[in-house]
Amino acid sequence: MARTMRARDAVADMPTRRDNVSVVAIASPTRRRPSWVLFGTLLVGIAGLLGAWVFTSTTETISVMVAARDIAPGEVLAATDMRVVEMGKAGDLRAIQPSQQDLVVGRAARGPIPHGTVLNTGLFAAAGQVIPAGWVVVGAALEPGAAPSAQLAAGDRVRVLGVERVAGSVAGGAPPPEATVLAEGTVWSVERASQGAATSKMWVAILVPTTSQTQVAQAAADGRLRLALIGADG
């Protein structure tokens, strides 16, 4: 009996062995999905490319023509009056590009164009359709001989004269005329009477300074107006 009790006590004092106890996980481990990782990487790449495209689009530049100096109203534009600059591209920008210079060269400014202004076709008109500031166009119906040439044309520089009859006599009995220079100007337009018309008059419009418009208009109304062509040397 005593031997049995000692055997039980020996068994009770033996350490408990846990080597063979299995551990059961409360939750199963999450499984990685390579497809989601690939999708995320692709999305980041697309975002980067999109950002680069937006940056490039907003910083793109174009070449445009600007005024190289102040241009007065009515002044005819020459190629040397423009220069090329680079500027940011804008969807609503109206501008002449270097390859389009012919659209404005030889045309006249509608109004003052300050130096550096981006040029566009709306700033200009045909050279014969713009009256410069300080100038007016006066019309006259000229009798044969009152114009210096039957080939008088728009753009010719002329001296506008007013003739007067003075007292006195010459061999033929007619008083010699006196001519007064009223202004210097430019022929604006010429209209000749059609062949077979009842009159042989020539209708001429002349661009003259505003300070001379009254005298020129009065001489035209009185039939005293004469024109003289001005040479290249003035």
Task: Render pLDDT for 178-230 as a digit per residue (tens, 0 to 9).
Answer: 889 999 998 888 887 666 556 678 899 999 999 999 999 999 999 999 999 98
Mean pLDDT of the chain: 77
Contact 96, 104 (CB under 8 A): yes
Residue ranges, CATH 3.90.1210.10, the chain: 61-129
Q: Kindly state the average pLDDT of the residues 147-165.
A: 87
Higher pLDDT, 186 or 18: 186
The pairing of strands 157-165 and 135-142 is unpaired
SS (H, E, C) 90-106: CCCCCCCCHHHHHHCCC
Fold annotation for 61-129: Type Iii Antifreeze Protein Isoform Hplc 12 (3.90.1210)
Q: What is the pLDDT of residue 50?
A: 64
pTM of the model: 0.49
* C-alpha span between 232 and 229 (Å, rounded): 10
